[in-house]
Amino acid sequence: MTRTNSKARSSKKAAATRAPAVNFQDFGYLRTAAVAPVLTLANPAANAKTIIKHLRDLEKQKVAIALFPELCLTGYSCEDLFFSTSLRQQVVTALNSIAKATSNIIAVVGAPWRTSDDRLLNVAVILAGGQVRGMVPKTAHPNYAEFYERRWFVAADDLDEELTEFNNDARISRQQIFQCGDRQFAVEICEDLWAPSSPGAAHSLAGAELMLNLSASNELVSKADYRRDLVRMTSAQRICGYLYASSGAMESSKDVVFGGHCLAAESGALLGESERFSLGAQQLIVDFDFNKLGHDRLHNNSFMNAPRPGGYRRVALNASKHKLTKLTRHYPAHPFVPSDIEHRDANASEILNIQATGLARRMLAARTQGLVIGLSGGLDSTLAFLVCLAALDKLNLPLKNLHALTLPGPGTSKKTKTNAHALAEAAGVALKEISIAAAVKQHLSDLEHQKTDVVFENAQARERTQILFNYANKVGGIVVGTGDLSELALGWCTYNADQMANYNVNASVPKTLVSSLVNWYARERSNPKLAKVLGKVLATPISPELLPLKGGEIAQETEAIIGPYELHDFFLHHWLRNGFTPSKIFHLALVAFQGSYSRTVIKKWLRLFFARFFSQQFKRTTAPPGPKVGSVSLSPRGDWRMPDEADASAMLAEIDAL
């Protein structure tokens, strides 16, 4: 009798039930590479061999498009050698050799090219499927300072002719869009990007989502910073991906030095860059997200309404056959909170200024000098309280104009009540305590209601709101809302209670950012006494405190009921900011939260997020005004308009099928 090891059996069973590896190409990603190869000046054959070696290596890394620098087949610094017939003949031979290495990768290389009407051009050559598939001429030729390109090359904006040297229908023309499957890219060369009228702008409006730039940009003090910002901001203006490859240090150093700078940006965000000044090859591999680019373009009315240029030819190239099971790019688990502390602190200062300025302006409009806030001792009301202090300071008003009320009820814990009193005391603000216990008890008695259910909970929330608004009438002030963006997205607020205010300063601040802002304030703006209190607030469990205490402790922890806010903020960011599908969000969350949450847990809370996001829209439709502080907002008057009756069943079915 043969025995089977039980551990081996269970291992095989686990392998059989394990989810198949996802192909991120299905979610709109395309892997590209920018390469600054080691150059052999004036030797196209040697450079072709180097490029082919890179292509084979990049193909193993599942790269679909490989970009090389300007005039990389000869070297940018060949000067009068560009007039050499022999050199140009070698270029044709080199292109044919490189073409053979492009059966499953697209290559874009730079070369000099003589036209049939005897013009010498600086061109980008697109090779794919074993063939030369097109050429794009450079438009802007610098002829100032250290540049002298017009000695050798001319622009050929009017040119559109067949490349008879190759056995296919390839053409040389500026107005070409190349298609890698259903992804569209175009090409511009070096100075084209720097010029006041760039061809890339037209390419983008003609449909190119990815811009490739073959460059030979020399290094000067601070030029790298300018180049980096130019690439990044161009990707923002055109709402495109931008891949940039510049010549390396093996160009001639007779008068200038080249650094081999490779850059990638997407919609204003820098995705990566290579080192500079290496005598060896440099390469940058980046996964561009075409789904995000498409969403951003549709979301931008200025882009959609811009006139489209005509006359473009579309060239279908071989689609990438690679399966991307892992991404090169990183998605932070906390997208609303910058990872580096310097950026985080700068953002925090900016956000507090936006909130305080919005509140101060609202006070001027309401002709009031008084603010009324419900101080629970929790995180959200603490941030709103700090904003109130900043608004009063901006208007040169005394602290007595801030009317802080704490309204304990059946679920209020000693910890949060202590926090509220300590917070007001540390800030020098008088705190008024009004118990809602008797009023709620009377109200529930009038309703003949005895259960501790949603009626019990909402009665407390609405009683608090009634007191705040009536107290505001009494002192001639306005009620400052405290609920945050994450709660609004999930509908985790009571309609016509904490959902309502005269002005909600936290309206577009997600929960993870609320925590970060309070932490920053404790470090940078607080005296030691206030900082200590803020530390205690940060350590307090998030809770609405609407259920009776258990042994004197909080009986209702929000994240145990609706899930971790860090997950919901991740879902919210990628749903609203990037327009990602539930499936894509799920797979990105698996990577971002690897080791923290299982697939089952992420799927559970993702389902709840979409179920609540759709069902709770009615609370957002009637949300009070509040300042927008970031790119994600749910204001019904601004960023998010959605019918209250929208059906989530298709979204939920997609999640159930994961």
Phi and psi at 263, nearest 5°, equal -135, 150
- With a CB cutoff of 8 Å and minimum separation 6, the contacts of 83 are 120, 152
SS3 172: strand
Nearest residue to 396 via CA among 423, 369, 371: 369
- Measured at the CA of 590, the angle between CA 588 and CA 595, to 5 degrees, comes to 140
Q: What DSSP string describes 295-307?
A: HHHHH-HHHHHSP
Structure tokens at 485: 């963006």
Is 138 annotated in the active site? yes
Distance of alpha carbon 406 from alpha carbon 416, whole angstroms: 10
- With a CB cutoff of 8 Å and minimum separation 6, the contacts of 14 are none
The one catalytic residue among 138, 292, 511, 584: 138
Structure tokens at 132: 């030369």
Strand partners, 75: none
Q: What DSSP string describes 334-373?
A: -TTS-SSHHHHHHHHHHHHHHHHHHHHHHHHHTT--EEEE
The one catalytic residue among 190, 240, 262, 493: 190
SS3 120: strand
Structure tokens at 454: 């949603």
Burial class (CB in 10 A: 0-12, 13-18, 19+), 512: buried
Distances (CA, A) of 341 to 288, 515, 516, 625: 27, 14, 10, 30
Amino acid present at 11: S
The one catalytic residue among 59, 62, 70, 180: 70
Residue with tokens 């919901």: 568
Pairing mode, if any, of strands 477-481 and 65-67?
unpaired
Nearest residue to 216 via CA among 249, 178, 171, 183: 249
CA atoms within 13 A on the CB side of 385: 32
Distance of alpha carbon 186 from alpha carbon 181, whole angstroms: 14
Contact 177, 213 (CB under 8 A): no
- Residue 170 burial (CB count, 10 A): 20
Is 190 annotated in the active site? yes
Phi and psi at 26, nearest 5°, equal -65, -20
- Residue 13 burial (CB count, 10 A): 10
Is 70 annotated in the active site? yes
SS3 179: strand
Distance of alpha carbon 389 from alpha carbon 386, whole angstroms: 5
Nearest residue to 497 via CA among 535, 538, 468: 468
Look at phi and psi of residue 49 and say left if phi exceeds 0, alpha if psi is from -120 to 50, else beta.
alpha
Contact 74, 111 (CB under 8 A): yes
Q: Would you name the residues annotated as active-site residues? A: 70, 138, 190
